[in-house]
A and B are shown apart, each in its own frame.
Chain A
Amino acid sequence: MINLLIIIFTISIIYLSVAGRFQSFINILMFQGIVLCGIAMLELKEISLANLLFILLETLVVKAIIVPYFLGKLLKKNNLTHDSTPNIPQFTSLIINSSAIIFSFILAYNLHEEHIKITYFTASVSAMFTGIFLIISRRKIITHIIGYMVLENGIFLLSLAIGAELPMIVNTGILLDLFTSVLVLGFFVSKISNTFHTVEIEKLTELKD
């Protein structure tokens, strides 16, 4: 069951590389949040109830509800619908993402660690790669934020792989990350849209040599 959820997660990552509308991105994020919540629930049955509730709260509420809500507000305020044309054509990025998944599978297989579950490792590495790839290849700030969230999801999945032994502190760290993204990114993006009247990255290129 866990493996099924992980595979569904991976498929959502592939979908990211072909998505064009912002709303699709946000929907995928919501979807990933719910899937992660499910995975967490199934994987971390053994830890204490307080921890479990905390993690479920974190995934469900923050990842699946709060972040998409903020992003949606931002979209409405700026009247954005479509992402600008990416630097790398969508088909190519699809191929790149798929090969990344295959590559991380091979890597996980070769690492020979019985402690690590291969699917966890594959899915999280490919999520991290997709997140970074989104940031590198797209030009709007919103997409960058979404790429960052996908990266965070990948890291969360990785931490779930060893969640049974992880102390609380790591979860606090993850929460701190989300706190960063929601508060500060939201704050700055609204400031940017106020000051520059755009959320195009292309305008933010003054500081260069």
Chain B
Amino acid sequence: MLEYFHQLSAPVQTLIIYSMGSLMICILMFLTKNKLVDSLLFIPFIGLQIYLNVMEYFEIGITKADGLEDYFKIDHLGFIFLTLTTLISIPVIIHSTVYSFSQHESKKELEVHNISLLLFIANMSGAIISCNVGLMWAFLEATTLCASMLIYHERNAEALEAAWKYVFVCSIGIALTFVGILFLGMANKSIHELNFSIEGLKLTVAHMDSIWLKLSFLFIITGYSVKIGVVPLFTVDIDAKDAAPSPVGALLSGGLMNVGILALLRFYQIFGTTDILGWMNKILIIVGILSILLAAVYLFKVANYKRMLAYSSMEHAGIALIAIASGKIGFVAAILHLIFHAFTKVSLFVQMGQVYKVFQGKNMKDIGGYFQLNPLGASVILLGIFSITALPPSGLFLSEFLIFKSLFLSERYITASILFLLLTIILAALGTKFFKLLFSPIPNTTISYQSINQWESISQWIMLLTMIYAGIAPPAFLIDFISTAVKDFPTYIPL
């Protein structure tokens, strides 16, 4: 068998090593009795993930052989998302391990959690590097399973309810996406064997009737909205990010959302070559504005900090969709926005985990005075909130600047005005509530609060400082890479 392996081309070897390696680590995690070893097994997985990432760099644009050419292919866009996923998996895994150890869980719970986390990251990577929409769909379907086990980690009533709703609505959403893909198949008139790879679809959609394309896109966006976390099926995402442990919430916000948007972007690329482009942009803008509106509404209403972060993710997903819809320089802006948002949101979620550990509660009424208790961590939140509301020098300010610029270039003035208004409202809501967390007096001075090791905030500082640096002086190679990634998109113009 080994000779067969060596005969395969390098790209396929990479994939086989990655998948087999991940499976083996899962089995080992299942077999070990020791909690520490279980968690240390993540290190080889991180190594595998980095290996995949690096190898894929050399594969960009190269068609794989050996029968996989319709299924796996990495391009610049996929590579950006893959690197982003890898980069945020590392702090997520670290903090998840720290979190598990501090909670004194049983071996079985830890094992289930770790295996699900590993498979979740692996499935996301698989979805990113696949170039077949059906395969991407299958990988996203698999992430539903993994995510549900991750959400159910706490094993209390709240987690159960969130996990059930997530599984159920996600399944329905994924089914709707499948219907959308089926419509694509049904509308195909020309060739016998329908090729669901992206390249193949680009060729065939040119001959399809636009009514089918529109129906298909509607079903796809409704279905994938549950993964991205936007209107209409966003509600279970909020519950999931709330009930899951904080590192998992971080991964859902910073990882799964991006993969969902990537999947949508693939369809956007495919349909962008037809004449439904204008209609697609309008739908995306409606979805985006509604998501941001609902996020603003609920950010004022809720008192639970993790839900606030979840609604904030919804808002940023909406902004990214509007960026995509406005075209021209909006594509670069959208990708930059997603990258910066991932860094900021992961930092905030992880820091929220520490807040939860100190206060044992998520409700605004019970929490306050965090600056006194954990200055380094509280400054993470301060910086994070300034960043997430896109105040300079955050990187998100740059991406939002570009988004407004592209909205003005495409003369969508009403959208821009509504966006300004909603973003100001969101700034007010987030500011009021989070400053209360940081600065109001400590609620109950009689009990002693658990102290947090200051080193736990280091990873978030690194992420936030990187993002701020990129916000002031974006590295040229990053911008060039992103520009190369999106240059085939419709109506693209260089920065």
Q: Which residues of A contact B (CB under 8 A)?
A: 111, 113, 115-116, 121, 128, 132, 135, 144, 148, 151-152, 155, 158-159, 161-162, 165-167, 169-170, 172-173, 176-177, 180-181, 184-185, 188-189, 191-192, 195-196, 204, 206-207, 209
For B132, B135, B148, B179, the residue with the greatest tally of chain A CB atoms inside 10 Å of its CB is B179
Once the chains bind, are B196 and A195 in contact (CB under 8 Å)?
A: no
Once the chains bind, are B171 and A173 in contact (CB under 8 Å)?
A: no
Once the chains bind, are B141 and A159 in contact (CB under 8 Å)?
A: no
Chain B residues, CB < 8 A from A167: 193-194, 196
CB distance from B276 to the nearest CB of A (A): 16
Binding stretch for chain A, among B182-190, B346-354, B398-406: B182-190
Q: A111-B211, A115-B186, A176-B142 are in contact. Are A195 and B160 (CB under 8 A)?
A: yes
Which residue from B157, B172, B174, B189 sits with its C-beta under 8 Å from A196? B157
Which residue from A128, A135, A169, A192 sits with its C-beta under 8 Å from B179? A128
Q: A169-B132, A177-B174, A184-B145 are in contact. Are A162 and B182 (CB under 8 A)?
A: yes
CB distance from B301 to the nearest CB of A (A): 6
> Given known contacts A115-B187, A173-B178, what 4 new A-B pairs fall within 8 Å (CB)?
A111-B209, A151-B175, A173-B134, A207-B162
Rounded to whole angstroms, the CA-CA distance of A204 and B167 in the bound complex is 14
Rounded to whole angstroms, the CA-CA distance of A166 and B193 in the bound complex is 7
Once the chains bind, are B164 and A188 in contact (CB under 8 Å)?
A: yes
5 inter-chain pairs at a CB distance below 8 angstroms, sorted by A residue, are A115-B186, A165-B188, A173-B178, A206-B157, A206-B161
Chain A residues, CB < 8 A from B171: 148, 177, 180-181
Q: A151-B172, A185-B167, A204-B161 are in contact. Are A209 and B186 (CB under 8 A)?
A: no
CB distance from B223 to the nearest CB of A (A): 11
B242: Cβ under 8 A from any A Cβ = yes
Chain B residues, CB < 8 A from A169: 132, 134-135, 138, 196
Q: Which residues of B contact A (CB under 8 A)?
A: 132, 134-135, 137-138, 141-142, 144-145, 148, 157-158, 160-165, 167-168, 171-172, 174-175, 178-179, 182, 185-189, 192-194, 196, 209, 211-212, 239, 242-243, 298, 301-302, 307
Chain A residues, CB < 8 A from B137: 173
Once the chains bind, are A113 and B168 in contact (CB under 8 Å)?
A: no
Number of A-B contacts (CB under 8 A): 108
CB distance from A9 to the nearest CB of B (A): 17
Once the chains bind, are A206 and B158 in contact (CB under 8 Å)?
A: yes
Once the chains bind, are B175 and A158 in contact (CB under 8 Å)?
A: no
**Interface secondary structure of A, over-half rule:** helix
Q: A148-B172, A167-B193 are in contact. Are A188 and B134 (CB under 8 A)?
A: no
Once the chains bind, are A162 and B185 in contact (CB under 8 Å)?
A: yes
Once the chains bind, are B138 and A173 in contact (CB under 8 Å)?
A: yes
**Interface secondary structure of B, over-half rule:** helix
Q: A165-B193, A165-B194 are in contact. Are A158 and B134 (CB under 8 A)?
A: no
Chain B residues, CB < 8 A from A209: 298, 301-302, 307
Once the chains bind, are A113 and B141 in contact (CB under 8 Å)?
A: no
CB distance from A177 to the nearest CB of B (A): 7
Rounded to whole angstroms, the CA-CA distance of A172 and B142 in the bound complex is 12
- Which residue on chain B has the smallest CB distance to residue A177? B175
Which residue from A121, A135, A191 sits with its C-beta under 8 Å from B160? A191
Which residue from B135, B164, B182 sits with its C-beta under 8 Å from A158? B182
- Which residue on chain B has the smallest CB distance to residue A128? B179
Rounded to whole angstroms, the CA-CA distance of A203 and B142 in the bound complex is 28
Chain A residues, CB < 8 A from B209: 111, 113
- Which residue on chain B has the smallest CB distance to residue A145? B168
Once the chains bind, are A155 and B178 in contact (CB under 8 Å)?
A: yes
Rounded to whole angstroms, the CA-CA distance of A167 and B194 in the bound complex is 8
Q: A113-B209, A173-B134 are in contact. Are A148 and B144 (CB under 8 A)?
A: no
Chain B residues, CB < 8 A from A166: 185, 194
Once the chains bind, are A204 and B164 in contact (CB under 8 Å)?
A: yes
Rounded to whole angstroms, the CA-CA distance of A132 and B175 in the bound complex is 11
